[in-house]
């Protein structure tokens, strides 16, 4: 598997074959529809164009300081945010 970070990873994949070791299970991206073995699919970029986050404007993943993500974390019991905004 590649160590280089992909610009557009598959955010959601599902198995399309029953669990088994041989032949290997095939997977499909829920967004772009690409199919393949798990590692091979993870190594390819997703062709789906994710809309930008309405809060931070980044895509396909939010910025580390996205206010919407921080608000969700601050309002989740048991989660202690150690960086981001100050209260």
Q: Does 87 have pLDDT greater than 70?
A: no
> What mean pLDDT is predicted for residues 10-20?
88
Sign of the four-CA dihedral 15, 20, 21, 24: negative
CA distance 32 to 49: 9
Question: Does 66 lie in the same domain as 33?
Answer: no
Question: Does 44 lie in the same domain as 2?
Answer: yes
Question: Does 76 lie in the same domain as 65?
Answer: yes
pLDDT tens figures, 40-62: 999 999 999 889 999 999 988 88
Nearest CA-CA partner of 34 in 6, 61, 58, 53: 6
- End-to-end C-alpha distance for the chain, whole angstroms: 41
Q: Does 16 have pLDDT greater than 60?
A: yes
Domain span at residue 62 reads: 51-87
Question: Does 62 lie in the same domain as 38?
Answer: no
pLDDT value at position 73?
82
The DSSP call for residue 61 is: S
34 neighbors 41 (Cβ within 8 angstroms): yes
């Amino acid at each position: 598997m590649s160590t280089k970070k992909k610009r557009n990873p598959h955010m959601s994949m599902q198995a399309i074959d029953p669990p088994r070791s041989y032949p290997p299970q095939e997977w499909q991206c829920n967004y772009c529809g690409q199919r393949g073995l798990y590692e091979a699919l993870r190594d390819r970029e997703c062709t789906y164009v994710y809309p930008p986050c309405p809060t931070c404007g980044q895509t396909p993943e939010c910025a580390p300081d996205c206010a919407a993500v921080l608000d969700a974390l601050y309002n989740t019991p048991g989660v202690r945010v150690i960086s981001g905004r100050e209260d």
